[in-house]
C-alpha cells in the first residue's frame, strides 16, 4: 500500500471511522476536564475557574494552519485577559510526541499563552490521548486546528476554527450569545464531518481506495454543505486522476490551487502528488510544470519540514529528469521521516533516485573498433 495518502489523511483528520463516532459532547454541555500529559509553556491550569472564559485550541506541530493561527490567538490572549479570557493550546495527534517540547521552545515569544501536550498512554495511537478523546472525538471533530470556547459557567459555548473565533468570543463574554442557535450550528458541523469521514473511509479504508463511490460521496457532501468544498477539493482531484479523468482533473486542480487551497500545504501536496502518482492511469501527459509550482508552494508553506511534501517535490524533480535535486530533497525527506510510519516508503524512493543518478553518471561502454 502506498503510505502517502494515509499520511496525508493523518495530517488532516484523525484516522478513525466517522460512522462509529457517537457525538457525546455538544455546545451547551459541561466542558470536559483538562487531562493533559504535560504543560510545556506558561503556568499549568488544573481546572476551569467560574467566571472566566477559556479558549481551548487544539493544534499539532505538523499542522501549518495551526501555526499560522498562533499569533492571532496570542494577541487575543493579551488583549482580552482584562475581561477574564484565557487561551490554552493543546498539542494532539502527534506522531513524535517527544519532539513537541523542542518545537514549543523554538516558538518562543511567538506564543503568549500556555501550551500543553495531550496525555497519551505508552503504546497508544496518537488519537487515543485523553484530550483527543474527551474533546475532539466526543464532539465529532476531525480537523485541526479546532477551537472550543468554555464560558463562565463551565459550558462548551462554541466549537469551530480559530479563524472564526473573534465574533462568537465577543458575544459570549458580553452576554449576547445565543447558545441554542450555536448548538444547532454545531449539529450541522458534526454532520459535515460525518460525511467527510465517509469520504475518508472510501479513500483510505482497509479495502483500498473506492474511487467511484468516493466521488459520489464528495458530490453529496458539497450538495449538503457547499462551504465544505475546500475540505474535499484536493480529494476530488486525486480521485479524478485515478479514474483516468485527466481532462476534468487538470482544470479543476488549477482552479482550486488559485482560488481555494492556495494556503493549505497538505491539500496542495495531494494535488501535486495526483499529477505524478505512479499508480494513476494517464490519458494526458503529466503537466510537470504545474506539479512543480504546486509542490514548491506546499514546501514553502510547510517550511520545508514536512517529509511527505518534500517527497512529492522530489518525485516531481525526478519525473522532470532533475536527478540531483530529486536526491537532495529525498535525502532531507528521509531524515525527517526517521521513526515514522512512512519512513520505509520514502527510503525506498530515495534508493530508486540514487540508482537512477548513478546510472546516468556511469560512462557509456566504448564501442569496439572494427
Q: Given the C-alpha cell 525506498, which residue does it identify?
A: 348
pLDDT band for position 4 (cuts 50, 70, 90): very low
Cα maximum dimension of the chain: 96
Cell for 227?
462551504
Establish if 225 belongs to a structural domain. no
Residue 190 has pLDDT above 70, yes or no: yes
- The proportion of the chain whose per-residue pLDDT surpasses 90, expressed as a percent, equals 80
Q: What is the reported pLDDT for 367? A: 67
Higher pLDDT, 362 or 230: 230
Establish if 326 belongs to a structural domain. no
**Cα distance between residue 144 and residue 65, in whole Å:** 8
**Cα distance between residue 245 and residue 268, in whole Å:** 19
pLDDT band for position 17 (cuts 50, 70, 90): very low
Task: DSSP letter for 148, please.
Answer: E
Q: Given the C-alpha cell 481532462, which residue does it identify?
A: 247
Which phi and psi (to 5°) does residue 32 adopt?
-65, 165
**Cα distance between residue 122 and residue 324, in whole Å:** 41
Q: Tell me the per-residue pLDDT of 47-56, one tens digit each, with 9 for 90 and over.
A: 999 999 999 9
Residue 344 has pLDDT above 90, yes or no: yes
Establish if 136 belongs to a structural domain. yes
Establish if 60 belongs to a structural domain. yes
Establish if 265 belongs to a structural domain. no
For residue 338, CA distances in Å to 17, 172, 256, 331 come to 28, 45, 32, 11
Return the CATH number at 12: 3.40.30.10
Q: What is the reported pLDDT for 16? A: 39
Rounded mean pLDDT, 328-335: 97
Strand partners, 74: none
Q: Are 352 and 360 in contact (CB under 8 A)?
A: no
Of 86, 70, 78, 72, give the one whose Cα is nearest residue 144: 70
Task: DSSP letter for 129, please.
Answer: S
**Cα distance between residue 135 and residue 26, in whole Å:** 10
Of 171, 168, 153, 139, give the one whose Cα is nearest residue 53: 153
How many domains is the chain built from? 1
Positions of E strands within 81-211? 85-91, 115-118, 146-150, 156-160
For residue 278, count CB atoms less than 10 angstroms from its CB and return exposed for 0-12, middle for 13-18, buried for 19 or more. exposed
Q: Are 116 and 38 in contact (CB under 8 A)?
A: yes
Establish if 245 belongs to a structural domain. no
**Cα distance between residue 170 and residue 166, in whole Å:** 6
Angle between helices 288-301 and 246-259 (to 10 degrees): 30
**Cα distance between residue 76 and residue 71, in whole Å:** 9
**Cα distance between residue 235 and residue 262, in whole Å:** 15
Q: Are 171 and 40 in contact (CB under 8 A)?
A: no
Q: What is the reported pLDDT for 3? A: 42
Establish if 46 belongs to a structural domain. yes
Q: Tell me the per-residue pLDDT of 279-313, one tens digit each, with 9 for 90 and over.
A: 999 889 999 999 999 999 999 999 898 999 999 99
Structural domain for 8, as ranges:
3-189
Establish if 145 belongs to a structural domain. yes
The H or E element spanning position 59 is strand 53-59
Amino acid at each position: 500500500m502506498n503510505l502517502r495518502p494515509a499520511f496525508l489523511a493523518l495530517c488532516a483528520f484523525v484516522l478513525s471511522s466517522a460512522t462509529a463516532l457517537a457525538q457525546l459532547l455538544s455546545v451547551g454541555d459541561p466542558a470536559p476536564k483538562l487531562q493533559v500529559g504535560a504543560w510545556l509553556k506558561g503556568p499549568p491550569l488544573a481546572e476551569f475557574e467560574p467566571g472566566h472564559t477559556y479558549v481551548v485550541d487544539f493544534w499539532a506541530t505538523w499542522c501549518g494552519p495551526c501555526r499560522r493561527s498562533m499569533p492571532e490567538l496570542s494577541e487575543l490572549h493579551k488583549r482580552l485577559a482584562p475581561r477574564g479570557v484565557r487561551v490554552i493550546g493543546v498539542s494532539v495527534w502527534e506522531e513524535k510526541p517527544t519532539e513537541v517540547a523542542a518545537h514549543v521552545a523554538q516558538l518562543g515569544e511567538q506564543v503568549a499563552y500556555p501550551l500543553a501536550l495531550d496525555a497519551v498512554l505508552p503504546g497508544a495511537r496518537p488519537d487515543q490521548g485523553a484530550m483527543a478523546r474527551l474533546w475532539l472525538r466526543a464532539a465529532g471533530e476531525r480537523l485541526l486546528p479546532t477551537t472550543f470556547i468554555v464560558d463562565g459557567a463551565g459550558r462548551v459555548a462554541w466549537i469551530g476554527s480559530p479563524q472564526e473565533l473573534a465574533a462568537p468570543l465577543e458575544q459570549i463574554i458580553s452576554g449576547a450569545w445565543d447558545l441554542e442557535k450555536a448548538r444547532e450550528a454545531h449539529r450541522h458541523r458534526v454532520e459535515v464531518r460525518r460525511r467527510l469521514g465517509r469520504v475518508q473511509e472510501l479513500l483510505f479504508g482497509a479495502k483500498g481506495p473506492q474511487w467511484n463511490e468516493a466521488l459520489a460521496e464528495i458530490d453529496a457532501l458539497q450538495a449538503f454543505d457547499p462551504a465544505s468544498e475546500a475540505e474535499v477539493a484536493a480529494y476530488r482531484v486525486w480521485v479524478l486522476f485515478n479514474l483516468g479523468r485527466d481532462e476534468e482533473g487538470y482544470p479543476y486542480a488549477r482552479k482550486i490551487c488559485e482560488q481555494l487551497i492556495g494556503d493549505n500545504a497538505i491539500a496542495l501536496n495531494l494535488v501535486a502528488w495526483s499529477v505524478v502518482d505512479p499508480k494513476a492511469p494517464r490519458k494526458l501527459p503529466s503537466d510537470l510544470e504545474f506539479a512543480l509550482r504546486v509542490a514548491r508552494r506546499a514546501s514553502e508553506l510547510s517550511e520545508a519540514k514536512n517529509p511527505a511534501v518534500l517527497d512529492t517535490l522530489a518525485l516531481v524533480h525526478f519525473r522532470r529528469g532533475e536527478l540531483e535535486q530529486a536526491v537532495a530533497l529525498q535525502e532531507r525527506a528521509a531524515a525527517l521521516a526517521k521513526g515514522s510510519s512512512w519512513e520505509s516508503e520514502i527510503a525506498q524512493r530515495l534508493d530508486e533516485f540514487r540508482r537512477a543518478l548513478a546510472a546516468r553518471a556511469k560512462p557509456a561502454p566504448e564501442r569496439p573498433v572494427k
